[in-house]
Amino acid sequence: MQHRQNNKAVKGARKELILGAYEMWQKALVGVDITKKSYERIQRLYDKGVVPAQKRDEVEAQYKAALATANAAKSQYDMAKNGAETEDINASLALVNRAKGAVKEVETYMSETTLTAPIDGEVTEIFPKRGELVGTGAPIMSIVDLNDIWFSFNVREDLLGDLKMGKTFRVKIPALNNQVATVKVTYIKALASYATWKATKTSGQFDVKTFEVRARPTVNIADLRPGMTAIFEETIK
């Protein structure tokens, strides 16, 4: 009776083992396919002198690790499918867990080949050249959010007049065929001392600070891009 119960337990474990081994084998094959393509691509770049040998060796090691993982997973699947004793099942489970670790390592390598931007936007500049190694934490590109744009004006404090927070006024944009747009003041701050207008006389005058005034369009402006000039269309009193 105990022997039958033991066989039943082994058979039940074998079914789970076969399914798990097959899934790990298929997953490992996907890792082989991905790392193989990456290796072939890097090898072509290496042959052209674009990629350093260190990078080629790293990708080759990842590919070989993926192959080894797939072979180990296939062996465990064959063993599970053809039938194994309880001891073999336990040993196979240990190997499957080891293969899972190897697959996870390959997945980690592959995840490092994909970069995710912190915001939606448009890439305006890429800093490293193709084939260059980039240190951890180093910026590799500049992204601008075209839905978060403002105009910046440097205004002397004696000319600020009615230019207060929340004030709206019109500007002309030469780059957009002199399109006139309404903007709203959202930021006012004094600039550093380098932007201060110094008094030219010892008495009767005083130093005049310069303020940065930012104004955002009240509605979305098509084709508006960073760097475009805006000109006051009305006098601010």
Tokens linked to 186:
């959202």
Instruction: List, for residues 36-67, the tens digit of each pLDDT value.
Output: 888 888 888 888 887 788 888 888 888 888 88
- As to burial, measured by CB atoms within 10 angstroms (0-12 exposed, 13-18 middle, 19+ buried), residue 150 is middle
At residue 30, does pLDDT exceed 50? yes
Look at residue 236 in the predicted model and tell me its pLDDT: 61
Instruction: List, for residues 146-203, the tens digit of each pLDDT value.
Output: 888 999 998 888 888 888 899 999 999 999 999 999 999 999 998 876 655 555 455 5
At residue 102, does pLDDT exceed 80? no
pTM more than 0.75? no
Instruction: List, for residues 194-226, the tens digit of each pLDDT value.
Output: 655 555 455 556 678 889 999 999 998 988 988
Residue 64 identity (one-letter amino acid):
K
Q: How confident is the model at residue 228 (pLDDT cuts 50, 70, 90)?
A: very high
Residues 6+ apart with CB under 8 A from 175: 225, 228, 229
How many Å is the Cα radius of gyration of the chain? 33
- Cα 67 to Cα 28: distance, rounded to the nearest angstrom: 8
Tokens linked to 183:
């903007």
Phi, psi of 72 (to 5 degrees): -65, -40
How far are the Cα atoms of 155, 215, 217 from residue 211, in angstroms, in the given order?
Answer: 5, 13, 19
Whether 180 and 215 have beta carbons less than 8 Å apart is answered as no
Q: How confident is the model at residue 11 (pLDDT cuts 50, 70, 90)?
A: low
